[in-house]
Structure 1
Amino acid sequence: MRRLLLVSCSAVGLLVLLPVSGAIAVELPVRKAGLWEMKVLSGGTVPEMTMQQCTDETTDKDMATAMSPVAKEICSKQDIQKTATGYVTDSVCGIAGMSIKSKAEITGDFNSAYTVKTTSRSEGGPAGGAARDSNSTIEAKWVGACKADQKPGDIMMPGGMKMNIKDMEKLKSMIPKQPGK
């Protein structure tokens, strides 16, 4: 089964959208193979960012498998429901002493375009920060076949930085363990 884990890490100003698996009755569709452009709008708190990802069916499924242990480690709640217009997710996750409660509304067809609108509330953190609410939107659109120098899993970030999502397995060891897990 697949679903999305949307975590807004206000400490580093990042928005991470990752498919994760779990025992759920609803499964999100696999995105159309090719190059996807994702524009991240964060309501003025962080500058707009546009990135591209080259994907195929295997890569989307691999991401779900690779990130499932991470999500289980950092999230105490991960729910997804099918709605008349798409999907709604609710999650409660914790990282570095910060609790993040998020709700995301996902609309679109995963073949040409989809949108993820997220509201989140983060509390705590290394400095014991006050509660903070944030809103963000990811507008994703399929732009065609991957470029000749790209392989499935490649993410092209602003400033020319390129990474491959398949390297996320290496990042799991960097996430701090939650007490009692």
Structure 2
Amino acid sequence: MTRKVALLGSVICLVLSAGAACADDLPVRKAGLWELKMVRSGSAMPEMTMQHCTDETVDKDMNNNVSPMAKQICSKQDIKKTSTGYVSDSECNVAGMTTTSHAEIVGDFSSAYTVKTSSHAQGGAAGATGRDSTMTLEAKWLGACKPDQKPGDIVMPGGFKMNVRDVDKLKALLPK
């Protein structure tokens, strides 16, 4: 059960990160297969590499579907263009835990981009004293999607596969 919750948390994090990187004023990622490597510090979650098959429609759908979900759980979500890329600041609350995050997004969205996020979580599982963590998401375009993949598919470590268009299923699994 703990493994499923950890995987779900990673998928939600990935979807929210990718959704932030797909806002209307940001470039759409190049269609095809992207390798997404998540490295965290200050967290019990191990390094994780996933593959995401995407196209222009999926990236736009992710923004449209994630934005309402983010609006429900985030009291603040600002994205600004900078001279080197984009900066995102957010404050979100899930299951009694408030997380304040700052992310810097750099890259060209056609071959590679990086999202570096620093977060402070307090309450819920983080406890009263809080917990700081950092996450780096390194995304690299690999080429065309594999024959058995359709746009939106994410393949997690161990072969767990889901489609980001199933965001409603993710929302149903979130603790209330």
Same fold (TM over 0.5): yes
Q: 2:41 aligns with which of 40, 43, 51?
A: 43
Shift in alpha-carbon separation, 1:59–1:34, aligned structure 2, 3 A: same
Greater helix percent: which structure?
2
2 CA distance for matches of 1:104 and 1:168? 22
Task: Tell me the alpha carbon deviations over residues 116-141 of structure 1, each in whole angstroms, 9 at most, x when there is no partner.
Answer: 00000000005744211001100000
2 CA distance for matches of 1:89 and 1:174? 26
Unaligned runs of 5+ in 2: none
Shift in alpha-carbon separation, 1:127–1:83, aligned structure 2, 3 A: closer
Q: What is the total number of aligned residue pairs between the two structures? A: 164
2:59 aligned counterpart, secondary structure: helix
Unaligned runs of 5+ in 1: 1-10
Question: In the alignment, what sits opposite 1:74?
Answer: 73
Shift in alpha-carbon separation, 1:85–1:30, aligned structure 2, 3 A: same
1:152 aligned counterpart, secondary structure: coil
Q: How far 1:44 moved relative to its partner?
A: 6.3
Question: In the alignment, what sits opposite 2:26?
Answer: 28
1 CA distance for matches of 2:125 and 2:46? 23
Question: In the alignment, what sits opposite 1:86?
Answer: 85
1:100 aligned counterpart, secondary structure: strand
2 CA distance for matches of 1:128 and 1:147? 42
Cα root mean square deviation, aligned: 2.2
2 CA distance for matches of 1:53 and 1:101? 26
Shift in alpha-carbon separation, 1:43–1:128, aligned structure 2, 3 A: closer
Q: How far 1:12 moved relative to its partner?
A: 4.1
Task: Tell me the alpha carbon deviations over residues 81-129 of structure 1, each in whole angstroms, 9 at most, x when there is no partner.
Answer: 1001000000000000000000000000000000000000000005744
1 CA distance for matches of 2:136 and 2:118? 9
| Residue type of the alignment partner of 2:132 | D
Q: Are the aligned partners of 1:20 and 1:65 in contact in 2 as well (CA < 8 Å)?
A: no
Pairing of 1:92-107 with structure 2 (within 5 A): 92-107=91-106
- What is the TM-score when the length of structure 1 is the normalising length? 0.83
2:29 aligned counterpart, secondary structure: coil
1:42 aligned counterpart, secondary structure: strand
